[in-house]
Amino acid sequence: MTTTTTKDNPSIEQDDASSAAGDRLPLAALLALAMAAFITILTEALPAGLLPQMAESLEVSEALVGQLVTIYAVGSLVAAIPLTTATQGWRRRPLLLIAIGGFAIVNTVTAISDSYAITFVARFFAGVFAGLLWALVAGYAARMVPEHLTGRAIAVAMVGTPLALSLGIPAGTFLGAAFGWRITFALMSVLTVILVFWVLAKVPDFPGQARGNGFTLRAVFTLPGIRPVLFVTLSFVLAHNILYTYIAPFLVPAGIAERIDVVLLVFGVTALLGIWFIGALIDRWLRELVLVSTLLFGLSALLLGIWGQAPAVIYVAVAIWGLAFGGAATLFQTASAKTAGEAADVAQSMIVTVWNIAIAGGGIIGGVLLETVGVSAFPWSVLALLIATFAVAWSACAHGFPSSKHPVAASRANDPQDR
């Protein structure tokens, strides 16, 4: 054991392996976090790709199986903030292992359950574990490295998300169709058990907040820059989910609804490129990347609004959209972690909550637009949200998304009067 100086605590003890030497990232530890994100996204979204098989097996309608995705989001929404706040004093690795181990349990229950009610409850608790895990990942990654590598570390930890969306979900859907949906969930449990041992071997432990030194929600919410970060996250992800949730009906006027798999593949591939670019540049250009991502997404919406019935334009617009969205989680979580300082985990729980509100809100708003105005309203609604996103991100030049001219000199997260 050695004593090292970190931005969390000037004199915490941690393993030699957890110290970042120079500009080297602790890839084994960060990739373990990426695997956790990968499993989380797979657990969340797989029922959507396996609706017919699950509906037949559980003897319910496809609409009810669809609610297994909804209840997962509800679990994350209601649990992220209270669980993160209540466990501020816990050591980080045991808490991370509880969140990861929870997925092994709930996916095993899902794989063997013949009861829709039991599966429904298991999915709720899957969402609970996801809310806790997402609140931990960015702050955990940030604590492993020096300040100037924070963004890059979070980008590596978050790479599991686009990989799950672009590769994991199609592969899981294929396996479910070929060998049965229960096999898919059982395989995820096996992966989770392997991940537990990976975390024990490679991921360093960190202390929680000392007793009496925790951060209240009000104190974190009122930190300079936190509210702009939360608003930008909400509006950007809401815009994404309005379009992504209802991409199938949106493609109908262009006559390519049957090519939705290709459209989503284009989105997934460019999303991977997006997170690669973000990871390479985020530590120097966080503010600029947020603004450029918003502009690119806005350009995509504009193209879809004007030429949304032209297949070639749709493919180009979706590619731009994927490029803009791929690194969004990394950008917003990095901004939150840097703005909140030692209160990063509580701030991340707010990001998780806002993100899930945006997922639910995108489904609701998109559904209302689909039933009242039609799919032609989607791009313009998205564009309106992105204009607001850009305006708030642009104005947050001192805190939240600081420019090089207005660096955040010190976080108020360390100020006792804010606790």
Rounded CA gap, 163 and 35, in Å?
A: 10
Whether the domain at 26-202 and the domain at 217-407 fall into the same CATH topology: yes
Residue ranges per structural domain of the chain: 26-202, 217-407
With DSSP H G I counted as helix, E B as strand and the rest as coil, what are the percentages for the chain, rounded to 5?
A: 80, 0, 20
The identity of residue 44, as a single letter, is E
pLDDT at 412: 42
Q: Kindly list the distances between the CA atom of residue 89 and the CA atoms of 33, 197, 210, 213, 286, in Å, as whole numbers in the listed order.
A: 21, 24, 6, 9, 30
Task: Please tell me whether residue 12 adopts helix, strand or coil conformation.
Answer: strand
Q: Taking the CB of residue 24, how many other CB atoms lie within 10 A of it?
A: 10
Is the pLDDT at 13 greater than 50? The verdict is no
Q: Kindly list the distances between the CA atom of residue 219 and the CA atoms of 143, 150, 393, in Å, as whole numbers in the listed order.
A: 21, 23, 22
What residues contact residue 273 under an 8 Å CB cut-off, 6+ apart? 322, 323, 326
Q: What is the pLDDT of residues 95-114, one digit of tens each?
A: 999 999 999 999 999 999 99
CATH code of 26-202, in short, is: 1.20.1250.20
Count of alpha carbons within 13 angstroms of residue 276, beta-carbon side: 9
| pLDDT bucket at 417, cuts 50 / 70 / 90 | very low
**Widest pairwise Cα distance in the chain:** 63
pLDDT at 362: 84
| pLDDT bucket at 5, cuts 50 / 70 / 90 | very low
The identity of residue 293, as a single letter, is S
Closest by alpha carbon to 208, among 95, 97, 91? 91
**Full-model pTM:** 0.79
What residues contact residue 76 under an 8 Å CB cut-off, 6+ apart? 127, 128, 130, 131, 134, 352, 353, 356
Q: Quick check: 182 and 54 in contact, CB under 8 A?
A: no
Q: Quick check: 195 and 32 in contact, CB under 8 A?
A: yes
Phi, psi of 278 (to 5 degrees): -60, -45
Task: Please tell me whether residue 4 adopts helix, strand or coil conformation.
Answer: strand
Q: How many residues does the chain have?
A: 419
Give the residue, 414 or 168, on which the prediction is more confident: 168
**What's the CATH architecture for 217-407?**
Up-down Bundle (1.20)
| pLDDT bucket at 45, cuts 50 / 70 / 90 | confident
Is the pLDDT at 297 greater than 90? The verdict is yes
Q: Quick check: 45 and 31 in contact, CB under 8 A?
A: no
Rounded CA gap, 228 and 394, in Å?
A: 10
Maximum mean pLDDT: which of 9-23, 304-318, 357-371:
304-318
> Which two tokens mark 272?
């991977």
pLDDT at 212: 57
Rounded CA gap, 93 and 206, in Å?
A: 7
The identity of residue 40, as a single letter, is T
Rounded CA gap, 117 and 173, in Å?
A: 23
What residues contact residue 63 under an 8 Å CB cut-off, 6+ apart? none
Count of alpha carbons within 13 angstroms of residue 114, beta-carbon side: 0
Q: Quick check: 295 and 390 in contact, CB under 8 A?
A: yes
| pLDDT bucket at 404, cuts 50 / 70 / 90 | low
Q: What is the pLDDT of residues 158-212, one digit of tens each?
A: 888 878 877 887 788 788 888 999 999 999 999 999 999 999 999 999 998 776 5
Q: At what angle do helices 92-112 and 27-49 cross, to 10 degrees?
A: 30
Mean pLDDT of 40-51: 84
Is the pLDDT at 229 greater than 50? The verdict is yes
Is the pLDDT at 418 greater than 60? The verdict is no
Asked which of 117-126, 242-251, 319-328 is least confident by mean pLDDT, the reply is: 242-251
pLDDT at 148: 86
Mean pLDDT of 41-46: 88
Rounded CA gap, 419 and 41, in Å?
A: 33
Give the residue, 120 or 272, on which the prediction is more confident: 120
pLDDT at 70: 79
Q: Taking the CB of residue 271, how many other CB atoms lie within 10 A of it?
A: 24
The three state secondary structure string of 27-47 is HHHHHHHHHHHHHHHHHHHHH
Q: Environment class of residue 211 by beta-carbon count within 10 Å: exposed (0-12), middle (13-18) or buried (19+)?
A: exposed
